[in-house]
Amino acid sequence: MNKYLTLADGTQWIGTAIGDCQLEAAGRIVFNTGMTGYQETLTDPSYLNQMIAFTYPLIGNYGIDPTVAQAPTIGAQAIIVHELATFNDHYTSRQSLASFLTIHHVAGIEGVDTRDLTIHIRQTGAQMAILSNHPITDFEAQLATFAPQALTATPLPVATTTIRPRVAILNFGEKAAITAELQARGADVVVLPPTASLKAVAAYHPENVFRIFSRVFAGRLS
C-alpha cells in the first residue's frame, strides 16, 4: 500500500508502507547517515517523537540482535528508508527488521530517495512531518490529531551499600550503552525517572549526576 511522507513545508514523498502498515505517525523528521547501527538508532530513547530517515540506501540486511538494543522498545515514531532488506544474514540475528518494526508497532515507508530527503532537511532544517496512508491536505489540522509519546518512568532502584563511586542518571533518554560504559569504568549506576525530585536523587548519595543531563537537572530543581 502507498504511504505518504509530508513535511511541514509542504514537500511530499510517496513510497510503500513497511512495519505496521496501517499505522500513521507524526514527529520531527531527522536523518542518520550511518552505514550500520540502525537497531541502536531505532532503540535510542533520545529519538522519542522523531521520524528517522536513513541515508544509507539499504537498511536491515544484518537483521536484529537483541544484545545491542539501547532500550526495550523502539524510541522513534517512524522509519524512512530507500530499501528495506528482505533478508537478514548475520549469525547474531534473531529476526528481521521488518518483523521487529511490526512487533513494536512502528510505521515506516520505503522507496523514498533518502539522500534527496537528507539534503532537503539539511537545507531547510529539521521540521515536523506526517507519515500517512492518504495525501495530506491540511497539515496543521492533521498534526493536531497526533499526541506525543512520553518516556516511560523507570522504577526507582533499591539502594545498596557500595564502595564504588555512584553516578545518578536522570532518564531523559538514557541509552543502555551509557550505563554499560559507566559500569565498565567502575561506577555504581543509578537510573532515575525524569520526574525524580532532588530528595529522591539525594537519597542515593551520588557523587555526581551524569553530565549530559546536568543542565536539565539543574533547571528542574531551581
Cα–Cα distance for residue pair 70/68, rounded to 1 Å: 6
- Residue 19, beta-bridge partner list: 107
Contact 26, 130 (CB under 8 A): yes
For 61-90, the pLDDT digits (tens) are: 999 999 988 888 888 999 999 999 988 888
Number of domains in the chain: 2
Res 165 pLDDT > 90: no
For 115-153, the pLDDT digits (tens) are: 999 999 999 988 999 999 999 999 999 999 998 876 655
- Do 110 and 73 reside in the same domain of the chain? yes
Cα–Cα distance for residue pair 189/117, rounded to 1 Å: 39
Phi, psi of 9 (to 5 degrees): -80, 5
In this structure, the chain runs to a length of: 222
**Within-domain flag for 152:** no
- Do 36 and 90 reside in the same domain of the chain? yes
- Do 41 and 113 reside in the same domain of the chain? yes
Residue 204 has which C-alpha cell? Answer: 542515593
- Do 10 and 116 reside in the same domain of the chain? yes
Residue numbers of the domain that contains 185: 166-221
**Within-domain flag for 102:** yes
Q: 3-12, 42-51, 90-99, 167-176 — which is least confidently predicted?
A: 167-176
Phi, psi of 47 (to 5 degrees): -90, 10
**Structure-model confidence comparison of residues 177 and 87, the more confident one:** 87
Cα–Cα distance for residue pair 71/49, rounded to 1 Å: 15
Cα–Cα distance for residue pair 38/14, rounded to 1 Å: 22
**Within-domain flag for 156:** no
- Do 42 and 111 reside in the same domain of the chain? yes
